[in-house]
């Protein structure tokens, strides 16, 4: 997988998250809390994890699921495995 | 191969809501193939529909979910969960399933964890796809 630049990564992950939580991408700010601000539950987080893995052909252990709390966290976690 | 008794030892659903008769193949972590023989004797055909018996699409989705639960249990051996909750279903139905059909369910893993899983699901009759989709469920 070629390296993805930061802006592209942010845009792509925002779109993935928006699709799963069924919100407009603009609502997914870098800091918006998945649970408190976006109404996400643990299974939606799992869907995001699976979508990240598929998109970037990476494997993220399930222990990392709890780290998905915002778009910022999602970007950080994805970069760890790219 | 797995018969109904073994199926019952793995999932909590019981008659009249057991939607699998047999599991024919399991590759832990990867896939499961199972089937249900659809019989006119099943009670819901009295109402679905009175003049034309069609196996409800919702029950095809249920059969998919049950097969996915078995796959999850056979893949994550230390899974303590006894209850499963469907949290997301995206299934398209292509062709009606009727009494006499043998409904084949094929489930492939997208992601599996101790809190639940995401699966690619397919149902087929006589080798032709009758429904296809994706399913997410949580376990407790």
Q: What is the ipTM of this complex?
A: 0.82
- Number of H helices and E strands in chain A, helices first, is 3, 0
Q: Is A49 on the interface with B (CB under 8 A)?
A: yes
Report residue B82's pLDDT band, with 50, 70 and 90 as the boundaries.
Answer: confident
In chain B, residues with a C-beta closer than 8 Å to the C-beta of A54 are: 110
Residue A55's pLDDT is: 96
Angle between helices A42-56 and A6-21 (to 10 degrees): 140
Q: Which residue of A has its CA nearest to B85?
A: A43
Facing residue for B110 by CB, picked from A42, A50, A62:
A50
- State the CB neighbour count (10 A cutoff) for residue B138: 19
Residue B122's pLDDT is: 98
In chain A, which residues have pLDDT < 70? Answer: 1-2
- Phi, psi of A3, rounded to the nearest 5 degrees: -60, 140
């Amino acid at each position: 997988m070629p390296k993805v630049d930061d802006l592209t990564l942010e845009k792509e992950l925002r779109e993935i998250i928006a699709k799963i939580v069924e919100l407009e991408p603009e609502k997914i700010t870098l800091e918006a809390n998945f649970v408190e601000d976006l109404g996400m539950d643990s299974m939606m987080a799992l869907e995001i994890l699976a979508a990240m893995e598929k998109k970037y052909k990476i494997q993220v252990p399930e222990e990392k699921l709890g780290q998905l709390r915002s778009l910022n966290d999602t970007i950080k976690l994805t970069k760890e495995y790219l | 191969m797995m018969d109904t008794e073994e199926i019952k030892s793995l999932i909590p659903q019981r008659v009249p809501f057991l939607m699998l008769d047999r599991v024919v193949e399991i590759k832990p972590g990867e896939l499961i193939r199972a089937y249900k023989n659809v019989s006119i004797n099943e009670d819901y055909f009295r109402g679905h529909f009175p003049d034309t018996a069609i196996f409800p699409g919702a029950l095809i989705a249920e059969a998919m979910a049950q097969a996915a639960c078995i796959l999850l249990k056979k893949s994550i051996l230390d899974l303590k969960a006894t209850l499963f909750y469907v949290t997301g279903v995206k299934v398209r139905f292509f062709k009606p399933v009727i009494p006499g059909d043998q409904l084949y369910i094929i489930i492939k893993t997208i992601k599996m964890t101790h809190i639940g899983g995401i699966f690619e699901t397919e149902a087929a009759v006589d080798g032709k796809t009758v429904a296809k989709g994706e399913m997410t469920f949580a376990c407790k």
